[in-house]
Structure 1
Amino acid sequence: MSIIVNKDKKIFLLQSKNNSYAFGIDNLGLVRHLYWGSKIESIEDFEMPILTEVSTNDPVFEITKEEFPVYGSLRYKEHCLKATFSDKTREIVYKYQDYEIIKEKKIEELIIKLKDDNYDFYINLHYKIYEEYDLIERYVSLKNMSNDIIEIEKIHSGQFHIPYEDLNFSNVHGHWGAEQQRFVQKVNYGKIVIENRRGISTHNHNPYFILDRDATETSGEVFFGALKLSGNFSGVIEQTQYGETLVQLGINSHDFKLNLEPGEEFVAPSILSGYTNGGFETMTHNLHKFAKDNVLRKGLRPVLYNSWEATEFKVSCDEQIKLARKAKEIGAELFVVDDGWFGERHGIDNGLGDWYVNKEKFPEGLNPLIKEVKEMGMMFGIWVEPEMVNPKAELYKKNPDWIYHFDTRESDTSRGQYVLDVTKKEVKEFIYNMLDELLTTYDIDYIKWDANRPISQSSVKKDIWYKHIEAIYDIVKELKIKHPNVLFEACASGGGRIDYGILGIFDDFWTSDNTDAYDRLAIQDSYSYIYPIKAMRAWVTDCPNFLSRRVIPMKFRYHSAMMGTLGIGCNILKFTDEDINLSKELINEYKQIRHIIQEGDFYRLENSSKNRYSIYQYNKEDESLLFVFLPQSEIGHRGVTIRLRGLEEDSNYILKLEEKQIIKSGKYLMNHGIDFKLFGDYDSRIIKINKIVR
């Protein structure tokens, strides 16, 4: 059983494979946290401590380890919920009512039922245990059973209590073209806040927390949680004066208010959380395995070719057919037409919203191109940006009230476009019908869904920040019911929509518009801590790179992109014979090993050298891969000893180093390791390792 209850003590113990999470109900009816850490088998070990005030300036409510603190009474700490009732009371006084356990297949869910002491306002705390993955999914649902509207001013999905001080907090920072840059900072007194206020994208921070006690990849305590939300989020990390560290995640209360109508229920986005004493590697494996088994669409992702760098907006049927033939020649399996195929789309200032095929570029529609692509045995994909409209577009001229706006203000344009108010029923229906018609009319296998600007003039309703992304989720979910074989890629001006809220609704993440192969090593490394490799699109593009101006050898560019789901974005019409042959060779190699990359376990290996090696390993059953990169050789030109991970100690493995084939035990490879050396700048290798099966 993953949920154990002591009814007399009113204590609840949540058990996963290696961990325990405990809380209980005290004599005041408060839900109080007791424990989160390595497994404790007996619920009888847990007691509800009696609380005493430190002083009148440190009241009991302030120091109580509440699972879900609310606004009101002598609470001055961060709260998860703030509401205003119809009589203007701005305080919640909850009382514990009951609990319920729901069992579905192997998953158990505990619901703690709370009710306001005076109003018909119900708060349910949900805990879903994924025992095999050592993960707990937490969320809260609110129900208004009164006859009046209740205004929700703040809702965070849960609070976590970590019984340590001086922890390390890590997340990512960045901006367009420089997303997913991992940082680590010491938690001290005061609050760390991460957030998004833009409505559309999360380039700057990502909705998760990692807190560790000087952990390494393979050792040390790590507490973590990822919010399932693609819009405005906030996270607060605080070391308290009472010897613990608190974390909250949820909807950003910036410019937020939700009117909960009589009889209405609201379910907040959930947090996928976990604990390990096995370092960052175990955290990564638990999250990746959960995503691969339960969230992501089954099957291997195809090798993609995208036309953007070759043509930009100058799309034409004949040119796309030329590109498709060359893409087929090098081994692509999916051909994607990017921006420029629709409306009067010759640049960024027109076309968005007018989703008809441009007759000058495609005189006979898309079918001649699609027919060619399909006859070559490739899948066909297309780029869209459904949330946006250009001021010059016919859609805007006919429906100027469909954008986010204030009647007395001039609406902002960014990248020459407005944001459509997707929370309006007619706008949501327009986007769904447009995409449904596109997918019904044409044999399309892949949608690249972009979103290139944040929301502004967000209307008088303060719930749109959340309801906008809910509407996007709904549209794609409905489309996938009707068109179940279509793959959807989440692109938001680069890597702006990477989170567990959109993962599974969309199938791929566009990781960044920065396709520089060296920069991507850092971006992909940071991404890997939380998110699965199978959803990470990575491209080979032309040099000099449009952002970095670097010139990097093609083999290094391919190897960097082969660490995820491979895509090619070069102008392949300009490829030399040497480029073509190398591309064929490396794409074919990727196809032979992608099952290990996309579905295997991922390891960030230690670099023991003074030289700047980046080393990664993938394991799947009896097969392993090593990716070794040396972007720049440092003075001394040292090699590196690579110690592998995740092998069977008593099994033997065969691997090829340069021209020499060696056989070593798993114990040797993991403890002694192999000596390896790359030379010069932008050198890289992929090394295959196979278990010898007797």
Structure 2
Amino acid sequence: MSIVINNSKNVFLLQTVSNSYAFGIDDQGLVRHLYWGKRIEAVEDFEMPVLTEVSTNDPVYEITPEEFPVYGSLRYKEHCLKVTFADGTREVVYEYVGYQIEKTEAYDELILELKDQYYALKIELHYKVYEKYDLMERFVVLHNESNEAMEVEQLQSGQFHIPYEDLNFTNVHGHWGAEQQRFVQKVSYGKILIENRRGISSHNHNPYFILDKDATETSGDVYFGALRRTGNFSGVVEQTPYGETLVQLGLNAHDFCLKLQAGETFTSPAIICGYSNSGFETMSHNLHNFAKDFILRAGLRPVLYNSWEATEFGVTCEEQKKLAKRAQELGAELFVVDDGWFGERNGIENGLGDWYVNEEKFPNGIDELIKEVKSLGLLFGIWVEPEMVNPPTKLYAEHPDWIYHFDTRESDTSRGQYVLDMTKVEVQNFVYQMLDDLLSYHEIDYIKWDANRPISQTNLHKDIWYRHIEAVYDIVKKLKEKHPNVLFEACASGGGRIDYGILGIFDDFWTSDNTDAYDRLTVQDSYSYIYPIKAMRAWVTDCPNFISNRMISMKFRFHSAMMGTLGIGCNILKFTEEDSNLSKEMIALYKKIRPIIQEGDFYRLQNTSENDYHLYEYTKDAEGLVFAFLPQTKIGHRKVTVKLRGLKKEAVYSVILETKEIKKSGAYLMQHGFDLCLTGDYASTLIQFKEIERR
């Protein structure tokens, strides 16, 4: 059983295959955390410690390890919930009511019921247990059962207690063109805050936490959680004076206030969380498998060609036809027209909001191009930025009140555009109808949804940070119900919307506008800790790269992009015969190995060399492969020993090293490994292996 309860002690034990999570109700009615770690079988073993004050400056409420601390009483710590009631009272005092258990094929769910002692506020703490994935999902549901409104000023989805000090905290930092830059810092006294205030998940931090006790890929304690929310979030990590580390993750309280009307219910974003005592690899595998099985749309992602770098805003029907024909010859399966096909769109200053086909660029309409693309056997995709409007457009002239604004202030433009007020029903209807018309009247298979600026002048309501992205979610869900075969890609000036909130509603992530193949190794490595490879779009683009101005061999560029869902963004009309032949070869190879990459297990292999090798393994069933990269030879003739992981010890594997084949046991390949030596700059290779017999 995944949920075990000792009713006499009021102790709840949540069990996964390898781990346990325990909490209980103490004599004051507080929900207190007891344990998170390796599996403990007997719920009877857990006791509720008696807490006493250290001093009057360290009251019991302050030192109690609460599952869901609220604002009020003698609490001065971080709190998960702050409410102002109709009469102005700003304190929650809850009492335990009871629990429910719900069972489904996918998970068991424990619902802990609390209520305020005086006001008609009901609080439900939800715990979904995904037993075989060693994961839980936590969220909170608030019910206003009164006849008056109440204001929710802060809501975190849960608090986590980790019984160690001096942990390592991992997240990412960055900016446009440099997203997903992994960092690790020591947790000491004071607080670590990660957040976003821009309205998108942002390029700067990401809504998750990883805390480890000197873990490696394959050993050590790792605690982690990822928020299922796009947009403004906050996370706090704090080492307390009482010997533990606390984490909270949820909605950002900055400029936030949710008015919960009489009879209304509000559900917080969920946190997918877990524990590994075998390092980061297990954490990644559990999250990746959960995403593949429960969140992502089934099926392999197509090889994509996108026309942006070939034409930018200079889109014409004839040029797009030429690109589509060439893309099909190279082996692409999906042709995507990027920005510049609509309105008076010849640059960033105009067009957004006027979603009609530009007649000068497409004198016979866009169906002429779509028909040509379909005749080539390709899927057809198109770029949109539905949440934005440019000031010179007809849409803005007709509806100047549709943007976020204050009547007494001049609204900011950023990238020459305003943000539409997606909390307005009429704006939601406009965006949905525009996209529904595109999909209903044209044979479109793929939508690349972009968002190129943060939100400002947010009008008079402080809940827009939440409601805006809910509107985006709802529109896409509704569109996919009506057009179930259409794939949606989440893009926000690159990787500004990578999170578990949008994943599953959208099908792909555009990982970064930086397509430099060497920079992408860092971006993709960091991404892989939390997010599934199947959703990671990666392109091969022209050199010199527009950001790095770096020249990199095409083989290296392909190998880097083949680590995710492959896309091509080059001006393929300028390809040499050598470029074309190599592209055909690599695309054909990717299609053969695509099930292993998109649906297999992913491993970040150890570099044992003084040279800066980057080694990544993928396995699925009896087959596998390794991508090896050497950006620069620093120490000549210094090889690397590649030690594979995830093999069957007793099985024999055939490993193809360029033109050489070796046959070794799984135990040998994992413990001893094989030597690899790349030379030069931007060298790379792809090594394939498969199980051939059992001993």
TM-score of the aligned structures, taking structure 2 as reference length: 0.99
In structure 1, the partner of 2:232 is 232
Q: Is the 8 A contact 2:343 2:356 kept in 1?
A: yes
Question: C-alpha separation between the residues in 2 aligned to 1:629 and 1:262?
Answer: 59
SS at match of 1:692: strand
Residue aligning to 1:519 = 519
2:192 corresponds in structure 1 to 192
The answer to whether 1:150 aligns with 2:147 is: no
Please say if 1:296 is aligned against 2:296: yes
Matches within 5 A, 1:262-301: 262-301=262-301
Contact kept, 8 Å, 1:201 with 1:492, in 2: the verdict is no
Counterpart CA distance in 1 for 2:297 and 2:106 is 20
Q: Which residue of 2 aligns with 1:677?
A: 677
Within-5 A mapping of 1:571-650: 571-650=571-650
- 1:313 has 2:313 as partner: yes
Q: Aligned residue for 2:404?
A: 404
- The reply to whether residue 666 of structure 1 matches residue 627 of structure 2 is no
Q: CA shift at 1:660, angstroms?
A: 1.7
Q: Secondary structure of 1:155's match? A: strand
1:212 alignment counterpart = 212
Task: Give the corresponding residue for 2:176.
Answer: 176
Equivalent residues in 2 for 1:472-511 (5 A)? 472-511=472-511
CA deviation after TM superposition for structure 1 residue 239, in Å: 0.1
Would the aligned equivalents of 2:658 and 2:687 in 1 still touch at CA under 8 Å?
no
Q: What residue is the counterpart of 1:122 in the other structure? A: 122
Contact persistence 1:611–1:637 (CA under 8 A): no
Q: Letter of the aligned partner of 1:177 in structure 2?
A: G
Matched with 2:88 is: 88
In 2, distance between residues paired with 1:339 and 1:119? 53
- How far off is 1:635 after superposition? 2.5
Backbone CA RMSD of aligned residues = 0.6
Q: Does 1:372 align with 2:361?
A: no
CA distance in 2, matches of 1:275, 1:165: 16
Q: Which residue number in structure 2 is paired with residue 20 of structure 1?
A: 20
Q: Does the CA contact (< 8 Å) of 2:636 and 2:679 recur in 1?
A: no
Task: Indicate the residue corresponding to 2:137 in structure 1.
Answer: 137
Q: Deviations over 1:407-465 (max 9, x none)?
A: 00000000000000001000011100100000000000000000000000001100000
* Counterparts of 1:534 and 1:86, CA distance in 2: 48
CA distance in 2, matches of 1:483, 1:382: 15
CA-to-aligned-CA distance 1:287-319 (integer Å, 9 cap, x gap):
000000111000000000000000000101111
Structure 1: distance between partners of 2:77 and 2:488: 41
How far has the Cα of 1:366 moved from its partner? 1.1
- CA drift of 1:107 comes to 1.1
Kindly indicate whether residue 99 of structure 2 is the aligned counterpart of residue 102 of structure 1.
no
Please tell me the residue identity of whatever aligns with 2:240: T
Report what 1:431 is aligned to.
431
Deviation at 1:220, TM superposition (A): 0.2
Determine if the alignment matches structure 1 residue 414 to structure 2 residue 417: no
How far does residue 693 in structure 1 lie from its aligned partner after superposition? 3.9
Cα deviation for residue 202 of structure 1 reads 1.4
Cα deviations across residues 227-263 of structure 1 (Å, max 9, x unaligned)? 0011100000000000000000000000000000000
C-alpha distance in structure 2 between counterparts of 1:198 and 1:79, whole Å: 23
Q: CA deviation at 1:606?
A: 0.2
Other-structure match for 2:66: 66
Residue 321 of structure 1 deviates from its aligned partner by 0.2
**Structure 2 residues without counterparts, runs of 5 or longer:** none
Matched, 1:327 2:330: no
Q: 1:62: how far off? A: 0.2
Matched-pair contact (CA < 8 Å) for 2:123–2:142: yes
Matched, 1:562 2:562: yes
Q: Is the 8 A contact 2:4 2:13 kept in 1?
A: yes
Residues 337 and 381 in structure 1, CA contact (< 8 A), matched pair in contact too:
yes
Give the drift of 1:658.
2.8
Distance in 2, matches of 1:432 and 1:473, equals 11
The residue type equivalent to 1:635 in the other structure is I
Query: Is the contact between residue 217 and residue 280 of structure 2 (CA under 8 Å) also seen in structure 1?
Result: yes
Match of 2:347 in 1: 347
Please state how far the C-alpha of 1:518 moved relative to its aligned partner. Answer: 0.2
The amino acid across from 1:92 in the alignment is V
Output the amino acid matched with 2:613.
Y
Structure 1, residues 582-635: CA drift from partner, whole Å, max 9, x if none?
A: 100000000010100000000000000000000000000000101000000003
Corresponding residue of 1:253: 253
Contact 1:202-1:230 within 8 A present in 2 as well: no
Q: CA deviation at 1:657?
A: 1.6
1:637 Cα deviation after fit: 3.4
Query: How far apart, in 2, do the equivalents of 1:411 and 1:405 lie?
Result: 6
Given residue 394 of structure 1, which amino acid in structure 2 is its aligned partner?
K
Verify: 1:223 aligned to 2:223, yes or no.
yes
Q: Distance in 2 between matches of 1:238 and 1:346?
A: 50
Distance 1:348 1:201, change over 3 A: farther
| CA displacement 1:531-572 (0-9 Å, x = unmatched) | 000000000000000000000000000000000000000000
1:112 corresponds in structure 2 to: 112
Distance in 1 between residues matched to 2:437 and 2:325, nearest whole Å = 27
Distance 1:200 1:511 in 2: 14
1:3 and 2:3 matched: yes
Structure 1 residue 75 displacement after superposition: 0.2
3-state SS of 1:95 partner: strand
Q: CA–CA distance in 2 between the matches of 1:639 and 1:590?
A: 26
Shift of 1:19: 0.2
Paired letter, 2:684: S
Instruction: Check the 8 A contact 1:158/1:249 in 2, yes or no.
Output: yes
Shift of 1:655: 1.1
Asked whether the 8 Å contact 1:324–1:335 carries over to 2, the reply is yes
Supply the distance in 1 between the matched residues of 2:45 and 2:7 (Cα, whole angstroms): 14
Alignment partners' CA distance in 1, 2:657 and 2:626: 11
* Identity %, equivalent residues: 73
- 1:12-58 per-position Cα deviation (integer Å, ceiling 9, x unaligned): 00000100000000111110000000000000000111111111110
Q: Is the 8 A contact 2:229 2:501 kept in 1?
A: yes
Which residue of structure 2 lines up, in the alignment, with residue 77 of structure 1? 77
CA deviation map 1:161-211 (0-9, x unaligned) = 000000000000000000000000000000000000000241000000000
Name the CA distance, whole Å, in 2 between partners of 1:64 and 1:471: 38
> Partner of 2:587: helix, strand, or coil?
helix
SS class of match (2:363): coil
Matches within 5 A, 1:511-550: 511-550=511-550
Give distance in 2, aligned partners of 1:200 and 1:269: 15
Runs of 4+ in 1 over 2 A off after TM superposition: none
Normalised to the residue count of structure 1, the TM-score between the two structures is 1.00
CA distance in 2, matches of 1:357, 1:560: 35
Hey, what's the Cα distance between the residues in 1 that align with 2:106 and 2:232?
33
Whether contact under 8 Å (1:207, 1:235) holds in the other structure is: yes
Aligned residues of 2:610 and 2:635 also touching (Cα < 8 A):
no
Residues in 2 aligned to 1:200 and 1:232: alpha-carbon distance in whole angstroms: 6
In 1, the alpha carbon distance for the partners of 2:435 and 2:14 equals: 43
Asked whether the 8 Å contact 2:310–2:570 carries over to 1, the reply is yes
Deviation at 1:636, TM superposition (A): 3.2
